[in-house]
Every structure is written in structure tokens, then in C-alpha cells.
Homo-oligomer: A and B are copies of this chain.
């Protein structure tokens, strides 16, 4: 076991909650008991429980214990940074991805600003449409810095770019800033998506950062309004 102890405990407990071994409303064993049964220290258990709390699995009650929250009401994962492929795995119906465009470009000023890069930087431009039940309802436009991603193929784009970056290139995606707005749809939206009469589109702008805090990807994900849904879990102050 080369992996972290507290992450492993987190995974195990989360799994038990998903499988219903711990039911919503119940108290899980106390920190001392967990420390004993996992043969570790209380602080390590506390780190695992903190993760569970942050991800919406439990609520810690001082003096009482930790109660299991009802995660069935809202669909997982709660808060952002999920790729289309990860998302699609939880859905029914026929789903696939069309790669409309895959080219190397030089960024115009708008893109320079979004990616915080110079005009002579090489940029991968990937345009994909996402098809649910034969309706093209999502348009994803990805821009990646070539210096981070030397090669990119149609096949990779049809699968998951994220998976390729993390597993093949060993890049670690660390965090993202996301912005959701509603905007008038463009000619491109109309030509590539089944807009079904809608004249507005939900735009999710994603700024994705690597481990080393460098911005390396800018994504616009454009959703037909009736098929858009975003769920979020947020704690108020801080733990």
C-alpha cells in the first residue's frame, strides 16, 4: 500500500455510504473507534472524516458524532470539474462524441487573454459536439497549450482528454475556475447543435490549472438550456 492511509480510509468509508452499509441519519463509529479498527491514530481518521465532510457525505456534530447525509437526493459528484465522460457514465440513453475540428492555431487577442499567453504560442483547438439520444445538445470548445500537450489525436478527443492527460501524459489537473452564464446563441451553435428553437445557450467557461498552478486549458462548454443541469455542494464558512 503505497497510497495514503487517510485517503484509503476516506475511500472505504465513502464506499460504505454509497452501498448503504451506513444509512443516512445514522452515526458512524466514533473517531476513537475508527482509529482502533483501522489501527491508526485519531488525527489520521480526522483527516479522512474531514474529506467526507467536505464532499457532502457526513456532517460532524460536536459532542455527538458524525451523521451520514442523504446523498441520494442530489446526484454525485457535487461540485464541478467533471469531464463529459465521467458524467455520461451515470446516465442512460445513447451517448457519443463528435469531433468537429482538431487543429493547431495561433490565438487571437480574446484567446490570448483567456489563456494568458502570447500570440506566438501554439494552441490546440478542439471542437466537439455531445450527442444524447441522437440530439446534439452540447458544444465543447477546448483550447490547450501545445507546450503542455505535444500530441493530440482524433481518437483521444473522442474518448476523454482528461483521462489522456492524467494517465498518459502524467499531468495532474489541480483546480479550475468556472463561470456559468446564459448568452445569445451564435451561428456556430446553430450550425453544430440541434437548438430546437432555443435562441439562448448556457455557457460554462472553465479555466483549468495544473499542479504547478499554471493555467493550461480554457474550455467553453455550451449547453442547450433545457438539457443543462449543474449541481453543487457548498459549506458555508469553512469546516
Contacts and interface: CB of A to CB of B under 8 A. Distances in A.
A18 interface: no
Given A59-B213, A209-B59, A213-B69, A235 B174 contact: yes
A55 interface: yes
Nearest to A61: B212
A160 interface: no
Interface stretch (A77-85, A104-112, A117-125): A77-85
A177 B232 contact: yes
A137 interface: no
A173 interface: yes
Interface residues of A, number: 47
Nearest to A64: B212
Copies in the complex: 2
A177 B78 contact: yes
A168 to B, nearest CB: 17
A213 B179 contact: no
Interface in A149-183: 173-182
Interface in A181-224: 181-182, 198, 200, 202, 207, 209, 211-213
Contacts of A55: 238
A182 B228 contact: yes
A202 B228 CA distance: 10
B61 A233 contact: no
A13 interface: no
A74 interface: yes
Nearest to A228: B182
A59 B177 CA distance: 13
Given A213-B61, A238-B7, A238-B55, A232 B69 contact: no
Interface in A15-31: none
A234 B79 contact: yes
Interface in A54-90: 54-56, 59, 61, 67, 69, 73-74, 78-81
A10 interface: yes
Contact of A54 (B78, B178, B181, B238): B238
Interface string A1-42: 000000100100000000000000000000000000000000
- Closest 8 A/B residue pairs (Cβ): A182-B225, A80-B234, A59-B213, A178-B232, A180-B230, A175-B235, A81-B234, A74-B177
